């Protein structure tokens, strides 16, 4: 390698600095590595690898200018095996596969040649092009050799000549060597060699061939002049020139046939993959003991997997029934076989017409596949919108309107179109059904907003009326006892427990090896004065007195709520917001406890994890989620005698969350919830666990209990 070639290999001009040489060397190494990993041509990969190895020698010559380095080129394969490997085919492939592979590789080499950054890299691309041409000639000659032995395959000759005419490698003149640099790098004392006379056998062979061609041409001319019929008989055994129209029709039809086969494999693979994922998630769900949020996420993932599996399976079944088993596809394959036979027989025009008909049928099949996938996607959206409306209607008690009924009818009609294979007709029906269900959802949300506004107005009116009645009674009975307007028996139903003054452990102490969450402060001793707190959560029957007196608003009636539910009078009242809980406690002559008071009443003074101690929870000590037999809702208050706190309070862990009077964070509106509920696992029912919720929250997992007595300002809102 001389100096000029070294700098040319690096894409630099002679005289470049050492820093430029190193920078160009690293950049080209990265470029070659990317190209080697990207191309599929074996010939081009070998050239890139050789050029990659040659960079080191070019860098050494450019920097040191001392020694000559040649990178070895991988070789060792047999010519015949090498030719098939260069084209990426197995030995004995059909002429169509040889021509298709040659066309693809030539297109790839053209792109690489256009993107080559240096002249040296362009030479490598052209060398690879030359090897691909040689390999194509060798592989394409196989059917021609068989023809000379008795087999006929005119299409192979067509493909060979058309492909070579289309992708002819450009000729590049090698650069003239620099005599001065050759003398510098050459051996200073070359051995003397005897001069031999130069022979030129190729010139003699060429002259002989020219004479033979001239003689043959003259003979054919004489035969044509004297006996034209004999000339026609002779020319029957000559290979016919390639027909570009036939090659183009054959290549296009074969490309579409492969696309149809790939689409079929892809649809089947998606169905199998969705089934495998669904089976895996079902196995994990059956063997998992997770609870709470993790369990809910697992259920959601399982539902999505079921929907995707059903969608993929439905697409596979419909396409197999109406597309891949259709007469149109069978006709396409029949036309291709007929066209091959016609091409072998020399009926070029009829072969082109048969290939064109096959291509038309294959294009229609691919269009039908696109319509099938679009139709199944539209049905998935329509069903999703329908399920969303059903969930909204179930939670709010909505009745189906005209939009829902029309959407259901369109969905049924579209299902019938899908079963019949009319995918194009089903798409607009499914899209209109989705639009109908979305319209129904919007109308339902507006109706809920109207109901909520009316409920708020009614509650304000009830409160104002109750306050006016209370003031009227106080004015007419000035000596009456200042107690809530309920009987002594009803007041005694909720007994107060006195919590003595003193210090207690407040906050998280890293129970059971867990790290304390950021919402909880580290355990510390805190002083509290004496106060009183209800032994149980407020019952539905107790809250009803306040509603009957007009002082309290009725709780929300929804799924899981205990209000107006048969047999739930002894259950805790739930589905009440913070303001409603506060109003009841004030009406009964009490208040909501602070979260510090609540925690001391729940865990005592020894810093225990749960009200009953440090042992893990179970169904017989708390109404919770994740324990077998605990059920899926609230239980009557005081039903877990073994789960009492040190002061004898019931349900301080589980059943329902309890509102407190404390803010969750300074400057915010959220209030603190304590105690966990029937929806929560062991983590959320710890005595130090706290959550925040906006005051307007009404949920089946939220209730309250009241407190009384001295209160210390709670400044530890976290």
Percent of residues, the chain, with pLDDT higher than 90: 20
Inform me whether the pLDDT recorded for 175 exceeds 70: no
Rounded average pLDDT over 358-368: 90
CB 354 within 8 A of CB 252: no
Kindly tell me the number of DSSP H helices and DSSP E strands found in the chain. 20, 9
Q: What pLDDT, in 10s, does the model give residues 95-114?
A: 778 888 888 888 888 888 88
pLDDT at 27: 85
Q: What pLDDT, in 10s, does the model give residues 562-621?
A: 998 888 999 999 999 999 999 999 999 999 999 999 999 999 988 889 999 888 888 889
Rounded average pLDDT over 54-64: 75
Inform me whether the pLDDT recorded for 192 exceeds 80: no
Length of the chain: 718
Neighbours of 259 (CB within 10 A): 15
The pLDDT confidence band at residue 75, using thresholds 50, 70 and 90, is very low
Inform me whether the pLDDT recorded for 325 exceeds 60: yes
Q: What's the CA dihedral at 613, 618, 619, 620 to 10 degrees?
A: -40
d(CA 500, CA 533): 11
E strand spans, 535-683: 657-663, 671-674
The pLDDT confidence band at residue 465, using thresholds 50, 70 and 90, is confident
Total-model pTM: 0.38
> Worst-scoring range by mean pLDDT, 304-313, 458-467, 579-588, 684-693?
458-467
Inform me whether the pLDDT recorded for 125 exceeds 80: yes
Rounded average pLDDT over 660-666: 89
d(CA 204, CA 115): 43
pLDDT at 514: 60
The pair of structure tokens assigned to 679 is 């929806």
pLDDT at 310: 86
CB 332 within 8 A of CB 254: no
Rounded average pLDDT over 55-81: 56
pLDDT at 70: 34
Rounded average pLDDT over 369-382: 89
pLDDT at 59: 79
CB 548 within 8 A of CB 584: no
d(CA 415, CA 431): 13
Q: Residue 590: CB partners within 8 Å, gap ≥ 6?
A: 534, 706, 707, 708
d(CA 227, CA 42): 53
Q: What is the mean pLDDT of the chain?
A: 78
Sequence spans of domains, the chain: 3-185, 246-446, 488-709
For residue 216, the cross-strand partners are: none
**CA distances from residue 219 to 216, 227, 235, 579, 680 in whole angstroms, order as listed:** 5, 12, 13, 116, 103
Question: What is the Cα Rg of the chain in Å?
Answer: 44
pLDDT at 662: 92
pLDDT at 167: 47
For residue 191, give the DSSP letter: P
The pLDDT confidence band at residue 152, using thresholds 50, 70 and 90, is very low
CB 95 within 8 A of CB 85: no
d(CA 423, CA 371): 6
Three-state secondary-structure class, residue 503: strand
Inform me whether the pLDDT recorded for 707 exceeds 90: yes
Looking at per-residue confidence, does 464 or 330 come out higher?
330
Percent of residues, the chain, with pLDDT higher than 70: 77
Q: What pLDDT, in 10s, does the model give residues 377-413?
A: 898 889 888 888 888 887 677 888 888 899 899 989 9
DSSP percent split of the chain into helix, strand, coil, nearest 5: 60, 5, 35
Q: Which residues of 195-211 are buried (b: 16+ CB within 10 A; e: fewer)?
A: eeeeeeeeeeeeeeeee
pLDDT at 148: 46
| CATH classification (class only), 488-709 | alpha beta
> Worst-scoring range by mean pLDDT, 18-32, 70-84, 114-128, 492-506?
70-84
The pLDDT confidence band at residue 180, using thresholds 50, 70 and 90, is very low
pLDDT at 387: 86
Rounded average pLDDT over 674-697: 89
The pLDDT confidence band at residue 32, using thresholds 50, 70 and 90, is confident
> Worst-scoring range by mean pLDDT, 62-76, 210-224, 487-501, 662-676?
62-76
């Amino acid at each position: 390698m001389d100096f000029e070639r070294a700098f040319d290999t690096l894409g630099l001009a002679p005289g470049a600095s050492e820093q430029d040489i190193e920078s160009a060397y690293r950049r080209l190494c990265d470029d070659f590595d990317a190209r080697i990993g990207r191309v599929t041509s074996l010939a081009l990969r070998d050239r890139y690898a050789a050029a990659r190895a040659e960079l080191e020698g070019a860098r050494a010559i450019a920097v040191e200018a001392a020694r000559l380095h040649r990178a070895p080129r991988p070789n060792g394969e047999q010519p015949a095996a090498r030719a098939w490997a260069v084209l990426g085919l197995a030995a004995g492939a059909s002429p169509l596969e040889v021509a298709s592979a040659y066309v693809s590789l030539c297109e790839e080499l053209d792109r690489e040649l256009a993107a080559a950054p240096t002249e040296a890299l362009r030479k490598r691309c052209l060398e690879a092009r030359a090897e691909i041409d040689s390999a194509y000639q060798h592989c394409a000659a196989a059917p021609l050799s068989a023809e000379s032995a008795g087999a006929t395959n005119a299409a192979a000759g067509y493909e060979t000549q058309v492909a070579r005419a289309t992708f002819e490698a450009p000729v590049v003149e090698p650069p003239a060597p620099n005599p001065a640099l050759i003398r510098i790098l050459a051996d200073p004392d070359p051995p003397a060699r005897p001069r031999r006379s130069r022979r030129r056998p190729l010139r003699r062979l060429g002259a002989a061939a020219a004479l033979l061609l001239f003689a043959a041409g003259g003979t054919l001319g004489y035969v044509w002049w004297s006996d034209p019929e004999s000339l026609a008989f002779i020319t029957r055994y000559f290979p016919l020139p390639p027909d570009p129209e036939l090659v183009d029709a054959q290549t296009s039809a074969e490309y579409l046939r492969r696309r149809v086969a790939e689409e079929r494999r892809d649809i089947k693979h998606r169905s199998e993959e969705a089934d495998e994922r669904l089976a895996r998630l079902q196995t994990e769900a059956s063997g998992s003991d997770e609870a709470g949020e993790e369990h809910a996420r697992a259920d959601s993932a399982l539902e999505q997997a079921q929907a995707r599996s059903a969608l993929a399976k439905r697409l596979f079944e419909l396409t197999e029934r109406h597309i891949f088993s259709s007469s149109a596809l069978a006709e396409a394959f029949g036309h291709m076989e007929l066209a091959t036979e016609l091409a072998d027989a020399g009926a070029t025009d009829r072969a082109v017409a048969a290939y064109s008909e096959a291509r038309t049928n294959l294009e229609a099949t691919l269009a039908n596949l696109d319509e099938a996938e679009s139709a199944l996607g539209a049905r998935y959206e329509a069903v999703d919108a329908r399920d969303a409306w059903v969930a909204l209607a179930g939670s709010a008690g909505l009745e189906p309107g005209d939009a829902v009924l029309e959407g259901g009818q369109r969905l049924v009609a579209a299902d019938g179109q899908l079963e019949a294979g009319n995918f194009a007709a089903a798409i607009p029906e499914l899209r209109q059904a989705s639009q109908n269900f979305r319209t129904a959802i919007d109308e339902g949300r507006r109706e809920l907003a109207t109901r909520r506004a009316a409920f708020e107005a009614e509650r304000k009116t009830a409160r104002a009326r109750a306050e006016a009645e209370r003031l009227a009674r106080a004015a007419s009975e000035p000596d009456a006892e200042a107690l809530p307007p309920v009987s002594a028996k009803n007041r005694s139903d909720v007994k107060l427990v006195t919590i003595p003054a003193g210090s207690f452990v407040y906050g998280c102490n890293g129970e059971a090896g867990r790290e304390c969450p950021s919402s909880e402060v580290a355990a510390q001793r805190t002083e509290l004065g004496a106060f009183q707190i209800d032994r149980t959560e407020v019952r539905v029957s107790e809250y009803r007195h306040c509603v009957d007196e007009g002082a309290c608003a009725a709780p929300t009636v929804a799924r899981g709520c205990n209000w107006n539910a048969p047999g739930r009078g002894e259950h805790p009242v739930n589905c009440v917001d913070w303001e409603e809980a506060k109003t009841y406690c004030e009406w009964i002559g009490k208040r909501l406890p602070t979260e510090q008071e609540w925690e001391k009443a729940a865990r005592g003074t020894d810093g225990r994890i749960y009200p009953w101690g440090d042992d893990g929870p179970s169904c017989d000590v708390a109404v919770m989620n994740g324990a077998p037999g605990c059920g899926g809702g609230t239980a009557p208050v005081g039903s877990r005698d073994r789960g009492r706190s040190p002061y004898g309070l019931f349900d301080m862990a589980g059943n329902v969350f309890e509102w407190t009077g404390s803010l969750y964070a300074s400057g915010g509106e959220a209030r603190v919830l304590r105690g966990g509920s029937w929806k929560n696992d062991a983590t959320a029912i710890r005595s130090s666990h706290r959550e925040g919720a906006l005051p307007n929250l009404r949920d089946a997992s939220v209730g309250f209990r009241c407190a009384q007595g001295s209160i210390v300002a709670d400044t530890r809102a976290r």
